[in-house]
Structure 1
């Protein structure tokens, strides 16, 4: 199962730092995604772009996560030659991650 089946995302940027928020469609999937969406997995999934540290912030009352990805925008908007210097497509790239099927989705 792809992450996009359980959540949606938003992105933002500041300099060479990318910010991706992942928001669960249903709060019951938050605990499962907390275990699956580790900083290591996110960095590995976006390894072609993210060269710096990945920090995860949890927002359990919102059923959301905020990932701050360092050195992810080729030097920043005014320096990057990338087609997506703001990183707006990166939430879609993260939502393509395979996350498996949450146990609560298979319960009778």
Structure 2
């Protein structure tokens, strides 16, 4: 199962930092996402992109998380040669994260 089956996401950026919100479609899935979508798994998922830290902020009343990833945008919008210097496609890439069946 892919994360996109349980959640949707949005992406933002500031300099060389990207943040991705992950919002459960159904609040009942929040606890599963809490267990499965850890900062470590997100860092591993973006191993070729994120050179810094991944911090997860939990928003249980919203059924959401915000992942802040440093050193993630090739130096930032004004310095990166990446096709997607803002990192907007990272939210879609995160939704491809495989979750174990449960």
Q: TM-score range by the shorter chain?
A: over 0.9
> How far apart, in 1, do the equivalents of 2:75 and 2:53 lie?
15
Q: Under a length normalisation based on structure 1, what TM-score does the superposition of the two structures give?
A: 0.93
Residue 2 of structure 1: aligned partner: 2
Residue 105 of structure 1: aligned partner: none
* 1:101 positional shift: 2.7
> How far apart, in 1, do the equivalents of 2:14 and 2:83 lie?
17
Q: Moved runs in structure 1, 4+ residues, more than 3 A?
A: none
Matches within 5 A, 1:25-40: 25-40=25-40
Specify the structure having the higher radius of gyration (Cα). 1
Residue 93 of structure 2: aligned partner: 93
Q: For each residue in 1:43-93, what CA deviation from the matched residue of structure 2 results, as whole angstroms up to 9, or x when unmatched?
A: 000111100000000000000000000000000000000000000000000
Residue 14 of structure 1: aligned partner: 14
Tell me, what secondary structure is at the counterpart of 2:97?
coil
Q: Does 1:76 align with 2:76?
A: yes
Query: Which consecutive residues of structure 1, in runs of 5 or more, have no partner in the other structure?
Result: 103-108
Tell me, what secondary structure is at the counterpart of 1:32?
helix
Tell me, what secondary structure is at the counterpart of 1:73?
coil
Residue 106 of structure 1: aligned partner: none
